[in-house]
């Protein structure tokens, strides 16, 4: 049976650490892996826009000797003229591995259940595991270690990136502190928080939810924020969301509450003046473009892992 990567819980803590080590190794010696996926085809299904995911996956499979097919869902019968299962079963006969960026998480689960080849979640409304592998790689590069570090996440937290950060941070023994408005619209889903706390009991990490931004960032090693207008949020909600989320904007004053050597992260795309100020994202503590680059290396490691090239 094919191994899938729909959330970070699809890999053990040990496997996640290995993937991070391989991502480092691939970054340092890309040429060594240039023929590893020779003649393999990656199907890249997109129901939402993308820069980083779309480009880094295609470059990644090409650099590994394979080929990527970009497949815009608006040109597909999937979910309209045929079931998701029929698309998955059919594409399994053509390609070796699939990545999909879909709206509903249940849709990628249905796809994976029917796929004979590995399926990678390239973002659903619920989770974004590839992003967090790249994020952990970046934090490790900048800080030298992961265990025991504090990551503060600010802003919209009923969010794919927040959910995957809670899972990823706790799996590697980090402490994650989420600062967000009250209420289920903006708070991370309870099942994710409960699961994260359970993982943290084993790894020594922790999960804290607060509605006080200053408390969230206090002594943090990493300050992280994500878009207030995720791809699936309707444009007409913007004004109201900006009002509610503004107390969680990452600005200079908030950054000063974190450790002096704290790094600033955003998975991108980012809007200056919304989830962070220009001064922060364009300032010396920001590592957002290293973070974006690591999507390439991290996803190469994920593809090699799922195709059994790394054990
Ligand atoms: N971070 C990220 O997934 O970016 P894209 O939406 O551009 O792929
Ligand atoms: N939360 C954001 C992440 C973008 C990479 C979104 O879903 O749009």
Q: Where are the beta strands (DSSP E) in the chain?
A: 41-46, 67-72, 97-101, 119-121, 150-154, 175-179, 206-210, 222-225, 263-266
Identify the band that residue 77 occupies on the pLDDT scale cut at 50, 70 and 90. Answer: very high
Q: Please say if the pLDDT value at position 51 is more than 80.
A: yes
Condensed to tens digits (0 to 9), the pLDDT of residues 123-162 reads: 999 999 999 999 999 999 999 999 999 999 999 999 999 9
Averaged pLDDT for residues 260-288: 98
Tokens of 2: 């094919």
Q: Which CATH number fits domain 8-127+295-306: 3.30.1490.100, 3.30.70.100, 3.40.50.1370, 3.90.170.10?
A: 3.40.50.1370
Averaged pLDDT for residues 181-205: 98
List the 119-121 sheet strands across, edge first: 67-72, 41-46, 97-101, 119-121
Q: Please say if the pLDDT value at position 58 is more than 90.
A: yes
Average pLDDT value over all residues in the chain: 98
pLDDT number for residue 45: 98
Task: Indicate whether residue 267 lines ligand 2 (CB < 6 A).
Answer: yes
- In the chain, residues under CATH classification 3.40.50.1370 are 8-127+295-306, 131-291
What's the 229 CA to ligand 2 centre distance in angstroms? 8
pLDDT number for residue 119: 99
Instruction: For residue 269, say if its preceding peptide bond is cis, omega within 30 degrees of 0.
Output: yes
How buried is residue 304: exposed, middle or buried, by Cβ count under 10 Å (0-12/13-18/19+)? Answer: buried
Condensed to tens digits (0 to 9), the pLDDT of residues 222-240 reads: 999 999 999 999 999 999 9
Q: Please say if the pLDDT value at position 311 is more than 90.
A: no
Averaged pLDDT for residues 16-29: 98
Query: pTM value?
Result: 0.98
Identify the band that residue 97 occupies on the pLDDT scale cut at 50, 70 and 90. Answer: very high
Distance, CA of 104 to CA of 242 (rounded, Å) = 24
Averaged pLDDT for residues 37-53: 98
pLDDT number for residue 57: 99
The closest residue, in CA terms, to atom 3 on ligand 2 is 230
pLDDT number for residue 270: 98
How many angstroms separate the most distant Cα atoms in the chain? 55
Task: Indicate whether residue 226 lines ligand 2 (CB < 6 A).
Answer: yes
Q: Which CATH number fits domain 131-291: 1.20.1060.10, 3.40.50.9100, 3.40.50.1370, 3.40.50.1110?
A: 3.40.50.1370
Catalytic site includes residue 295: yes
Task: Indicate whether residue 229 lines ligand 2 (CB < 6 A).
Answer: no
Q: Please say if the pLDDT value at position 209 is more than 80.
A: yes
Averaged pLDDT for residues 300-311: 95
Nearest ligand atom owner, CA of 267: 1
């Amino acid at each position: 049976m094919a191994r899938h990567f729909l959330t970070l819980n699809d890999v053990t803590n040990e496997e996640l650490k290995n993937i991070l080590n391989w991502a480092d190794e691939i970054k340092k010696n890309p040429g060594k892996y240039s023929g590893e996926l020779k003649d393999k085809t990656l199907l890249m299904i997109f129901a939402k826009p993308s820069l980083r995911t779309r480009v880094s996956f295609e470059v990644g499979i090409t650099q590994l000797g394979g080929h990527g097919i970009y497949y815009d869902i608006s040109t597909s019968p999937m979910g309209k003229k045929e079931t998701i299962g029929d698309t998955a079963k059919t594409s399994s006969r053509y390609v070796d591995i699939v990545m999909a960026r879909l709206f509903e998480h249940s849709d990628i689960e249905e796809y994976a259940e029917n796929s004979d080849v590995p399926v990678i979640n390239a973002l659903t409304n619920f989770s974004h595991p590839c992003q967090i592998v790249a994020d952990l790689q970046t934090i490790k590069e900048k800080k030298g270690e992961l265990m025991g570090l504090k990551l503060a996440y600010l802003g919209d937290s009923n969010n794919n990136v927040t959910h995957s950060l809670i899972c990823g941070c706790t799996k590697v023994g980090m402490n994650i502190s989420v600062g967000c408005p009250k209420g289920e619209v903006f708070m991370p889903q309870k099942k994710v928080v409960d699961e994260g706390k359970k993982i943290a009991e084993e790894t020594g990490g922790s999960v804290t939810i607060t509605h006080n931004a200053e408390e969230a960032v206090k002594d943090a090693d990493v300050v992280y924020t994500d878009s207030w207008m995720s791809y699936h949020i309707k444009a007409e909600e913007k004004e109201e969301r900006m009002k509610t989320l503004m107390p969680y904007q990452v600005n200079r004053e908030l950054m000063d509450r974190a450790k002096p050597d704290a790094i600033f992260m955003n998975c991108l795309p980012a809007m200056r003046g919304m989830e962070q100020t220009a001064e922060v994202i364009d300032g010396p503590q920001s590592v957002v473009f290293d973070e974006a680059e690591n999507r390439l290396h991290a996803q190469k490691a994920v593809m090699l892992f799922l195709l059994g090239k790394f054990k």
